[in-house]
Amino acid sequence: MPAFSRFTPLISALPATVPFVGPEAIERNRGLIVKARIGANENGFGPAPSAIEAMCAAAGETWKYADPENFDLKQALAAHLGCKAENIAVGEGIDSLLGLIVRLVIDPGLPVVTSFGAYPTFNFHVAGHGGRLVTVPYVDDRENLDGLLEAVRRENAPLIYFANPDNPMGSWWDADSIVAFAEALPETCLMILDEAYCETGPADAMPAISALIGRPNVIRTRTFSKAYGMAGSRVGYAITTPGTAQAFDKIRNHFGMNRIGVAAALAALKDQAYLSDVIGRIKASRDRIAGIAAANGLKPLPSATNFVAIDCGRDGAYARSIVDGLMEHGVFIRMPGVAPLNRCIRVSVGPESDMALLEEALPKVLKGF
């Protein structure tokens, strides 16, 4: 008699997995202590003091649910972006929004186009809803726009995921190329333009809000996790047409946002002076990481994000040994998951104390090979 399963056939067939192994799990499993947390694409410089103050002030009201309509945050975002509040959907970070988008569009078996080696959490959502991933390799460490467009047309895909600037390589395309790509897509294909790193990239990489706001088949996703330094608060948002934005209301968790995180986001939006300052520190830290890599005979890749991908010059096994070796010194970093991207390691920005630990540990690790 076959074993009983209370889960659907789809869920029963999926592996039990977490897309990323967190530093906390590494500490538990390996008995090590993370001294420099520079691997999870977090902003080690943290949020604005004004945002922290807002969180403290809101803590006493955490017994209340957050506004299920997210009215104040939508209004503030619209004013900041130069669009209307009805163009905004709010969610618990981009990861949550990605899951909702896949749920809105994908039935089991439908093709979904993405780059081979791009953000694993998106793939996780596609698998969870039974979608069929169609992947396109990177070219010169950038996502291949022509290849992605060809795959959409060939597969008649209803959904494509594209990040600019890119995770995990840190590369980017200019705004004109992004707009041309969006305009070339069939109107039956919904494009997720993941702009998690939009604040840390060059200005000419970001299409104006007005350039895409009228296209119902484009959803731009952004977050307070990166430049704003609030990854733990889980505040993300999508920018699209009113009709597409309203579709989220059919399936989202209406009480999913937390009051403390929302209060911090509102304060952070008002404190653009701090954002400008921290973006400068992120750029300086990228230069610092690149200098450490070059001093050790490794090749840092150009980056428009809050991390630097570093070409180690060999294969994934070698890069993995560097990742593991650095962790033995308390330095937590990560690496891309598939070849040929996995010849690289990836180091997130952080304060000078973290950079000093990396600078000290890296030559020791490399000397052991």
The predicted-structure confidence for 126-139, as pLDDT tens digits, reads as follows 999 999 999 999 99
Residue 37 DSSP class: E
What are the C-alpha distances in Å from 130 to residues 9, 111, 117? Answer: 10, 10, 19
May I ask the CATH class of domain 49-270? alpha beta
**pTM, full prediction:** 0.95
Rounded CA gap, 46 and 67, in Å? 26
Rounded CA gap, 176 and 195, in Å? 15
Residues of the chain within CATH 3.40.640.10 domain(s) are: 49-270
In this structure, which long-range contacts are made by residues 290-295, counting pairs with CB atoms below 8 Å and at least 24 apart in sequence?
292/355, 292/358, 292/359, 292/362, 293/347, 293/362, 295/359
The three-class DSSP label of residue 212 is helix
Rounded CA gap, 110 and 132, in Å? 6
pLDDT at 3: 66
pLDDT at 4: 73
Residues of the chain with pLDDT under 70: 1-3
Fold of 9-46+273-367: Aspartate Aminotransferase, domain 1 (3.90.1150)
Residues of the chain within CATH 3.90.1150.10 domain(s) are: 9-46+273-367
Give the number of other Cβ atoms within 10 Å of residue 259's Cβ: 18
Question: Which segments of 215-351 does DSSP mark as H helices, in order?
Answer: 242-247, 259-270, 272-295, 316-328
Kindly give, in sequence order, each residue whose CB lies less than 8 Å from that of residue 206, ignoring residues fewer than 6 positions away: 175, 195, 198
End-to-end CA distance of the chain: 53
Q: Of 225, 228, 224, 167, whose CA–CA distance to 192 is shortest?
A: 167
Rounded CA gap, 290 and 157, in Å? 38
